[in-house]
Structure 1
Amino acid sequence: MDELHLGDNEILFGADKTEGIVAAELAGRFIRLFIRRKNGVFFRDDPFHPFILVEQPALLAGFPGGHTIKSLTGSGEYKYMAEFGSWRDCMAARDFLAKKSGKTPSSRDVPYLYLSDPVHQHLLKSGKTLFKGTDFTSIGRLALDIETYCAEGFEFSNPQREEDRIISIAVMDENGYAEVLNGHDMTEATMLERLSEIIRERDPDVIEGHNIFRFDLEYIRVRAERHRVGLCWGRDGSEPRVHPSRFSIAERTIDYPRWDIFGRHIIDTYFLLLIYDISAREMESYGLKAAARHFGLAAPDRVYIEGNQISRRFDTDPDSLARYNLDDVRETLALSRLLSHSYFLQTSMFPYSYQNCLIRGNATKINALFLREYLRQGVAIPKSGAGGSFEGGYTDVLEYGVVGPIVHCDVASLYPSILISYQLTPAHDSLSLFLPLLKELREFRLTAKRLARTGADPFRRDYYQALQQAFKVLINSFYGYLGSPLHNFSDVALAAEVTRLGRETIKTMLAWLLERGAQPVEVDTDGIYFIPPSVVATAEKEELLVRELSQSLPGGIEVELDGRYRAMFSYKIKNYALLGYDGKMTVKGSGLRSRGIEKYLRAFMEEIIRLLLAGEGAKVEAVYRDYTQKLRDHEFGISWLAKSETLGESLAVYREKVRAGKRNPAAAYEIATKSPREFRAGDQISYYISGRRKGVTAYENCRPIADYDPAHPDENTDYYMDKLKQLHKKFARFLPGEKLLFD
């Protein structure tokens, strides 16, 4: 850390130098700071003066609560800071302003700026951040995982059912501590009481789990209420605050019950995987076991138990269930260590809690850097920018089918490089923070990247690798910040200019490659996949070609060789597969790796792609015939044909929506509706399609997987064969008789 002098940059890391803060919470008229030292964690209370920014002091005329008004300099619309004696007064002022102006805090063109998180407010004004001067290895992390019973006749546990109790709880930290609470030795109530004792005794800063919000914690909450067991997990002895929340990632929004534990953070590794895969696009599943295997974190002797066998193992072999539970928390710790490190580092920069730093968008976090520095200098804040649409980056597919060899080059941080190279800055950044901040982040990243390669200590290498990744994400988000009208210093017109220059840059690169005999295959905003000229036949010559391409562009725009591949299957835009020289296959795009289709179709598609890339497209027909015959002979296990869906709403709501024509009938709900058992929102149902015609309606011919009898198979062979046929047709134009790469 010393090599980078991270704390020296007050704009990035805040002006206050206090180290070791691991949590901050509202405590009456104070913000309570929890500070970790070698001998443990102690707390200190900072005076707290919450604020609202307003256009005019007259807006608060008539407000009965005590407050002071401070003027800010500069041309921004929010020229005055109103400070209050307590958070309650601040919220009362928010309500007063909303009523007086007729606009809520989230309205467009609102004449005041209210920030709803008191900890965020205090960190903004004070310049403090969490984890400053703290190593990731020194914070207290405790992984938690539960196993639950499932009543006979149901596929999945439900905490509302009395018999679906918690049967095993595993906890583990990074200091060698591990414990399993066994349902054979304890009542469920005793297990929950002991879990609370463990949290108080181990005193973790962070509680980690996989899908912990939507499963483990919610299950624990419901069962604790059933037994009237208090979950006093807070550092002040309080119970968690639980409320509905949403986590948005790309086009996906996840509803979940958010927990806030006083003085602690909760990190969900399921969320970490979702964020990771937005750019990586390589995860086949977001389940813990699949992720551990993907990243090489699974131990050779790891215990695996199918979900529908948990109850039976508890009854017949509880020791293996305990080992399985421990393996879950062990992998959770490892996965979090790998993926959360960069967010830990970001928390030392941004004025947010660790838990919030993970779920806040990058543009929101960048906006906080500007707010913090403008307020520190006493400068007025501009209103959020105007909206507007503009043309995006240049994407195109120039060749389809199997081609190769392939070189992938891309511009390192294309849009940030354009901003720096052309000296472009937002119109309302009167302090001119934007470009210096972007440049410094880039320099930090380059230094961290070098130290990650050259460091002698493996722990420090990991640290710098995580740090450079955090900087990379931030750097690339500066352009996205400009294009979002939600933020105070955004500039949509400037974002449009950046994308225009980006399109010009990529088209210039295309022309340069074509002039030298290269054959571009796919263009994706900041990079090009291409077949190199015939005279460029070695790795060294490919690197030289890309280096010459980079040198042909304006200063500051750097092109890197990002990959070399034996072959590429170009299917459609942003959907392709690559075969490395090491034999590894990488598949990108939802059209080639959809998680929503049945397992037998996913496996068939993977075989097709692998054969095409290997130049063995002629073998696809044999594979197709083999899959068809297996369907006829009922050789696929029913899990290969089934789909699993979660009931997102109650059956009563579902029936009413169907009756009113507000939604279509759905197979999982129809099974639940007809079942004599009681299903609730949150239950999962796995089903298959029965019948004898391919054109059946799924919701009229669905059956629960639990009813399937292998001795008397009744799956709809024609239906599943037709789905296989339709998938096969999607690839027909890429199969022989067309000439393939290796024919």
Structure 2
Amino acid sequence: MASTELKGFILTRHWRDAPDGTDIEYWLASEQRPRKLLLRAQTSVAFVAARHRDAVQAQLATLPGLQLRELALRTFGQEPVLGVYARQFRQLGRLARALQPLQIPLYEADVRPHDRYLMERFITAGVVVEGGQRDGDTIVDGRLRPAPGYRPQVSVVSLDIETSATEALYSIALDGTRPRTVLMLGDPPDASTEPPDFTLVYCASRREMLERLNAWFVAHDPDVVIGWNVVQFDLRVLQKAADACGVPLLPGRGRKPIAWRTHPGQQGYLFAPMPGRVVVDGIEALRAAMWSFPSFSLESVAQALLGEGKDIGDAYDKMAEIERRYQQDKPALAAYNIRDCALVLRIFEKAALLPFVLERAQATGLQADHFGGSIAAFSHHYLPRMHRLGYVAPNVGEIAAKAYPGGYVMDSRPGFYDAVVVLDYKSLYPSIIRTFLVDPVGLVEGMQAEDASGLVHGPQGTRFSRERHGLPEIVTGLWHARDAAKREGNAALAQAIKLLMNAFAGVLGASECRFFNPRLVSAITLRGHEIMKRTRDFVERRGYRAIYGDTDSIFVWLQRPHGNGEAHAVAAGLVQDINAWWTRALREEQGLENFLEIEFDTHYAKFFMPTIRGSDVGSKKRYAGLSVDAQGREEMVFRGLEMARSDWTPLARQFQEGLLSRIFRGEPYRGFVADYAQALLAGAKDELLVYRKRLRHRLDAYQVNVPPQVRAARLADEHNLRMGRPPQYQQGGWIRYVMTRGGPEPLALRQSGIDYAHYLDKQLQPIADAILHPMGDSFAALTSAQRRLF
């Protein structure tokens, strides 16, 4: 064995208890080839209040290897604590359960060894490994320090399978490495075919397919496995097939199996930890990066991002075609299979998903394929800083869950406006944390201080220490890192950091978080209310009018039409003045440095704020406008209106966009409304009448209230059963249907004539009247001739 030093990026992490202690395993993507880092005989730690020493020592006789040590730490309740050091991590869990009947809490006993090792060294993903001994590709007992700027070149494979309707495995496609490969069940065709642009390997049995798959992973050794619903479907079906064949599925590095886990709060949802390889599902990655699509099916996303797709029919036509190709044209099935892999690769490239996933791991400290995880990311950053401030973390549930104020939403002033500018506070909640020193330890220190004169005073009587805190420093570090990422053109890192910072305030308001405290999160949200109200007062003192505000944005009506350049200049002046005013006000009021920063967001040459349907009260979070940028480029913007909501048909969205576009641009609209209604009744809009709705429960759960989508789904499944096919909708899902004279009918099974009156009254009229009412007009008046037709 020889000593070694290298840079690496943590792909996966794992721990296991051994006789001499807990072993921690990290797989790294390195400058050379993948390396496994093994840290042997690590000690685990938790904490207990010192007054419970005797009760804990009474348990030690049954738990050999545990030790108590004096520490200069205390709880949030100011109780001194002892460190409980364990040879095996699982001993801490056993001790926690033994103390539970005595109502003695064991603090931080749930922090896993591989996470604690990293967080206490301020390591997220990039590392430098120093020293240690090398045993092949394994480094034993090296020392780690952070390497925040290191990013590896990772190898990627896109995996996809094809199956029968009953999930019998037919083929496995692997793309991203050369040669592109499809493993196909069955014998090759007798007739020769054109050679495909991939290697097609025929396998006599599913057992052989799976053994070849295991061998493929050894030979090609990818760092990252990507796919579409790859864990919940592809890997799950592969594991099911392997179990049925009696052959192990070994896709992990070192020919390791998948360490399957289920989600504790989501029945049926699976995790597939794969030693040494990151598994990234395209759907989850897109959602984590804040992409939004009406449907996250591979076909829909590929069409939206790439302008092409994979569709070969509806759900049953598709399965029938797959079955036909498997029976009659296996090369065609293989081509279809590998195309899915290629589409996933291209979506990842187009949306820059892999850089985002890696940068997210670097920003959060979580494993790269751990999506969600805001609470875990907060703990990763906060716990080591809290320890250095002399505290241990509380346990989840110490403070009972209760409601707290959310973001400020200003009452809107409905109507049509010329010249509206939107000003937006940059990362408002993180900037509140920085400016007003909002912090869990800071709150504890401030509330127990005898002299309140030097503290930062917050809403609801909260007080925060000016000197002892950790969260403002964390946010400041992330803020600077985000600015640096922007300067360097690293959009993926900038986006990952922005999402992490903005999640921190929400974490403090999550009852599942160990730092949950309604007073703490209210000190952020109520300060946001104050900031928005004072900003509204400021712009109105300048002679403008605030017509709406939402959490961190304020919509300012300039009171008269402005040219585009003039409106942009007014907005720039307001931004400069508001920021300067905050700097003075905060220094004078509490001696605080100002990190609040308002920015100019949008100029709407025309703007519409509707009323709540059936009233004169202005709506919230719903508006439309014609925005104009500094170069004079126009764009129609819709927020929360029918065209942006999935429960309205394409007919409604197209009509709303067309009507508002004409009004905003000063074009005649009455003829458009009448002609659109006429075209609907004449059948010229039939392709726009499809509802697409989600069944959120089992089909048999709808008993008293049976909405249209459920009626349509029941008709569809009755038809499936008559055709000898399995039902589609018993467990929920998405259904496409139209409203007919016979009621809601599935799109593919429509037998009755379309109920045009329904679409006229339920889709077009509500939209039209919301827009036309402020103008003294109505849908009925403009379509009276058409209404006489029925």
> SS in structure 2 opposite 1:82?
strand
CA distance in 2, matches of 1:409, 1:208: 40
**1:361-400 → structure 2 map (5 Å cutoff):** 361=374, 363-375=375-387, 379-383=391-395, 386=399, 387-400=401-414
CA distance in 2, matches of 1:408, 1:273: 28
2:68 counterpart residue number = 69
> SS in structure 2 opposite 1:395?
coil
1:636 counterpart residue number = 686
CA distance in 2, matches of 1:221, 1:619: 61
Deviation at 1:410, TM superposition (A): 0.8
| Contact 2:419–2:561, Cα closer than 8 Å, also in 1 | no
1:199 counterpart residue number = 217
Give the direction of change, closer, same or farther, for the CA distance of 1:485–1:80 in structure 2 (3 Å limit). farther
Aligned with residue 542 of structure 1, among 568, 571, 579: 571
1:428 aligns with 2:444: yes
CA distance in 2, matches of 1:230, 1:424: 52
CA distance in 2, matches of 1:494, 1:735: 42
CA distance in 2, matches of 1:478, 1:137: 28
1:220 aligns with 2:238: yes
**1:283-322 → structure 2 map (5 Å cutoff):** 283-292=293-302, 294=304, 297-298=305-306, 305-306=312-313, 308=315, 310=318, 311-312=320-321, 314=325, 317-318=332-333, 321-322=336-337
| Contact 1:689–1:715, Cα closer than 8 Å, also in 2 | no
**1:398-477 → structure 2 map (5 Å cutoff):** 398-425=412-439, 426-428=442-444, 431-449=468-486, 451-452=487-488, 461=489, 463=490, 465-477=491-503
Deviation at 1:332, TM superposition (A): 3.9
User: What is the root-mean-square deviation in Å for CA atoms of aligned residues?
Assistant: 3.9
1:264 aligns with 2:263: no
1:579 counterpart residue number = 626
Matched letter for residue 726 of structure 1: K
Q: Deviations over 1:475-503 (max 9, x none)?
A: 33333344345444454324323333322
TM-score with structure 2 length normalisation? 0.73
Deviation at 1:191, TM superposition (A): 4.2
CA distance in 1, matches of 2:760, 2:111: 52
**1:43-54 → structure 2 map (5 Å cutoff):** 43-47=36-40, 48-54=42-48
> SS in structure 2 opposite 1:45?
strand
Deviation at 1:212, TM superposition (A): 2.1
Greater CA deviation, 204-213 or 282-291? 282-291
- Percent same amino acid among aligned pairs? 19
Matched letter for residue 72 of structure 2: T
Q: Of the two structures, which has the highest relative contact order with CA contacts closer than 8 Å and spacing of 6 or more?
A: 1
1:96 aligns with 2:91: no
Deviation at 1:395, TM superposition (A): 1.0
Give the direction of change, closer, same or farther, for the CA distance of 1:228–1:59 in structure 2 (3 Å limit). same
| Contact 1:75–1:382, Cα closer than 8 Å, also in 2 | no
Deviation at 1:340, TM superposition (A): 4.9
Matched letter for residue 144 of structure 1: L
CA distance in 1, matches of 2:546, 2:312: 47
Give the direction of change, closer, same or farther, for the CA distance of 1:690–1:410 in structure 2 (3 Å limit). closer
1:79 counterpart residue number = 81
CA distance in 2, matches of 1:289, 1:41: 34
**1:59-208 → structure 2 map (5 Å cutoff):** 59-60=55-56, 61-63=58-60, 64-66=62-64, 67-76=66-75, 79-98=81-100, 100-101=101-102, 110-115=105-110, 117-125=112-120, 127-132=122-127, 133=147, 135-136=150-151, 138-149=153-164, 157-159=165-167, 162=168, 165-167=169-171, 169-172=173-176, 178-182=180-184, 185=188, 186-187=202-203, 189=206, 190-208=208-226
CA distance in 1, matches of 2:582, 2:598: 9
CA distance in 1, matches of 2:96, 2:718: 46
Q: Deviations over 1:166-214 (max 9, x none)?
A: 44524225xx764344567535724444333333322223222232233
The unaligned stretches of length 5 or more in structure 1 are: 1-15, 104-109, 150-156, 248-252, 453-460
| Contact 2:250–2:256, Cα closer than 8 Å, also in 1 | yes
| Contact 1:143–1:332, Cα closer than 8 Å, also in 2 | no
Deviation at 1:139, TM superposition (A): 2.5
| Contact 2:69–2:83, Cα closer than 8 Å, also in 1 | yes
Q: Deviations over 1:266-323 (max 9, x none)?
A: 222212333344xx7x5333334544555xx52x676654454545374665476256
CA distance in 2, matches of 1:319, 1:424: 57
| Contact 1:23–1:205, Cα closer than 8 Å, also in 2 | no
1:32 aligns with 2:32: no
Larger-gyration structure (1/2):
2
CA distance in 1, matches of 2:232, 2:638: 29
Aligned with residue 532 of structure 1, among 558, 563, 571: 558
Q: Deviations over 1:87-117 (max 9, x none)?
A: 443443343334x3469xxxxxx55433164
CA distance in 1, matches of 2:218, 2:697: 35
Matched letter for residue 540 of structure 2: L
> SS in structure 2 opposite 1:145?
strand
1:594 counterpart residue number = 645
1:480 aligns with 2:506: yes
1:510 aligns with 2:528: no
CA distance in 2, matches of 1:444, 1:570: 38
Deviation at 1:714, TM superposition (A): 1.7
CA distance in 1, matches of 2:492, 2:601: 19
CA distance in 2, matches of 1:412, 1:178: 46
Give the direction of change, closer, same or farther, for the CA distance of 1:689–1:716 in structure 2 (3 Å limit). farther
Matched letter for residue 172 of structure 1: G
| Contact 1:33–1:45, Cα closer than 8 Å, also in 2 | yes
CA distance in 2, matches of 1:591, 1:483: 31
CA distance in 1, matches of 2:269, 2:738: 31
| Contact 1:412–1:558, Cα closer than 8 Å, also in 2 | yes
2:616 counterpart residue number = none
Q: Deviations over 1:380-439 (max 9, x none)?
A: 334556344333332124333443333221111223323333344431369522222222
